[in-house]
Amino acid sequence: MHSDTADTTSARRAPDAYDDEIWRDVCAGLSAPAVADGVSVSVRRGWDLGWERQRLDAARESGSPHLSVRVHGDEILVGPLWAPGTDAGCAGCAEVRERTVVDHPLAGDLAHAAAGPAPSEALLPELLRASLEHLARRPLGPGELYAVSARGLRRHRVARSFHCPLCGPEKGELAAVEEPLPLALRNRPASPGDPTRSGDSRLVERGLLRERLVDDRFGPVRAILRESRTPFAMSMAVVPDAPAMGHGRARTFAETEPVAVLEAYERLGGFPYDIPVLTDRAYTDVAEHAVDPATLGRYTDEQLAHPTSRVTPHTADTPMDWVWGHDLDDGRALLVPADHAFYQYEYAFRRDRRAARAVGPHERKHYFYESSSGCAVGANLEEAALHSLFELAERDAFLTSWYRAAPLPHIPESSITDPTSRAMIELIRARGFDIHLLVATRDIALPVVWVLAVNRLDPFPATFSSAGSGADPQSAIRGALREVAQLVTNPVDWTREQVEAMAEDPWLVQELEDHVRFSSIPETLERATAALGGPSVTLDEAFPDWPRRLADASGGDVRGALDLVRSLFADAGLDRIVLVDQTSREHADAGIHVARAVVPGILPMCFGHAQQRLAGLPRLEAALRGTAQEHRTSPYDPHPFP
């Protein structure tokens, strides 16, 4: 059996890859009926990018499917079967996905050929013969791969990868020189029970995303884990390319799985893997069709000069990178700073996300140090945009309430009828915390609640907070209570002595986790409870006509719901909303859309005292007017949002 010879043929003739008689006979089995008529087949020992590219290019030119077969020592990979015009992964997708899952040092570089050891398993030819007989009865579908070894026989579905050097985007395709066409939103008939979700969406259907996306060898989702220590069902989806696991919380584990996968895919949308980026243009050069970076909040000179700062100063003349979004009002294309639209993008490594993840935060370069706030998933762009706006309204209301440090109306527990929420309230109280349901809604007239848990038994941890928003106030409260219930249940993995210095020196608050730790310090109790003491209101008084208001205004269509929410932003003086479509090829193949709404003037959710971007926002200045915080200057007290 030779290591460097192979052939590409029609399935009507067997590849003469090896002159060994046994292997020649086995390879003959790759002809019909094991492989469909008209499929080209290539056989190779190991991995060779140039070889695979030649074979796939030939198949692409002829418009025919292609089956790549690779022999790796004691295993044979039959497939995946690539088919033109489909979302089928190719051999390059399989190679890069397998390397990514195991964190191979050459996961980002498939150019090096690897012949691999010669087959040593005597049983392998017979296993391949038996496998081909099986495949004759159950042929491979597009994107499917069959792994043959003495360890077992297994069918895999290989999803396309935006990292694939064979079928992924060419570098020239990623330069955002051409202005895109105006955005035309589409009508999306809503689910009868939820005007914010499309009626034909199957994203949360039990088992659907698991079947499509979960594979412990090729991913994209390596595994779905179950958390047994939370007071409710929680699953975590592990996606090697994503910056963090996706979490799903619900009553049952079956319900949590698709939510966890969707959150992981939302986080995957935080980097423009295959989305065009316009590089090195100053705002003054593109001002006619760009969002003014100055309207997105500024850092103070004190923040920029501090050692914990992770941002680089910029002016209107600083060359920056941009991506295209669309104004939701008239649909016209507008440029948005790339590291604002995609929070994982930065300038030191730009497209090389793997290199950026391998270094510390101070080795990366940002003009905007952003978070995932405002990123949302949906079955279509309209649905994702709607939920993006709900999240932005939630964060804006929470931050405004925190910085005002003034009493808020509170909702008595007797107004809560949802049994899950009532159970979590009892659990939180049993852990020694008093629970306060605060009405955080201000000028954006959407239901927003701040759930504040105050320790009544011990000074440490002092408080925990979370927030929730949505068309249904009961659902918004339930979501926020889940966050707090988890916080009060999980063991505190820091001591008071480790974090109490933050009370005197807020610059020590640098990471997301530090904000939760800051709120645990007894010295911050008075700051958090400044929001208490407001009037008591029922749920109906706090959020009159919700969720009926959205259901009536939507006309049974998600786009109608989006139009209403957009109008509520405009009523609050936030009349420009620029929608950035973060949907990559991988998202689209999975039936998932990701969007981030960019709203100039809104309060951004930032983490780290030096990264707080609140200077130059008239909206915040107006909100603080008449409060004890009116004459404070940025940076303000670190918020407790988890």
DSSP for 96-109 reads: HHHHHHTT-TTTT-
Angle, CA 78 vertex, CA 77 and CA 82 arms, to 5°: 120
Give the integer Cα–Cα distance in Å for 294 and 305: 19
Q: Report helix, strand or coil for 425.
A: helix
Q: For 401-549, CATH number? A: 3.30.160.660
Q: Which residue spans of the chain are classified as CATH 3.30.160.660?
A: 401-549
Residue 201 DSSP SS3: coil
**494: its two tokens:** 């820091």
SS3 611: helix
pLDDT given at position 50: 94
For the segment 259-264, the average pLDDT, to the nearest whole number, is 97
Q: How far apart are CA 434 and CA 455, in angstroms?
A: 6
What digits encode the pLDDT tens for the residues 372-390? 999 999 999 999 999 999 9
Please name which of 52, 53, 55, 77 lies closest in space to residue 8, comparing C-alpha atoms: 55
Question: Which range among 38-52, 181-195, 317-331 shows the weakest confidence by mean pLDDT?
Answer: 38-52
Residue 423 pLDDT more than 90?
Answer: yes
**What's residue 27's pLDDT?**
65
pLDDT single digits (tens) 540-564? 999 999 999 999 999 999 999 999 9
pTM: 0.94
pLDDT-derived band of residue 257, with 50, 70 and 90 as boundaries?
very high
Q: Are the C-beta atoms of residues 90 and 68 closer than 8 Å to each other? A: yes
* Stretch 444-472: mean pLDDT: 98
Q: Shortest CA distance to 470 belongs to which of 197, 188, 234, 254?
A: 197
- pLDDT, greater one: 2 or 560: 560
Residue 14 has pLDDT above 50, yes or no: no
pLDDT per residue over 465-519, tens digit each?
Answer: 999 999 999 999 999 999 999 999 999 999 999 999 999 999 999 999 999 999 9
317: CB partners within 8 A, 6+ apart: 282, 283, 284
CATH 3.40.50 is the classification of domain 201-268: no
Burial annotation 463-500 (CB, 10 A radius, 16+ → b, else e): bbbbbbbbbbbbbbbbbbbbbbbbbbbeeeeeebeebb
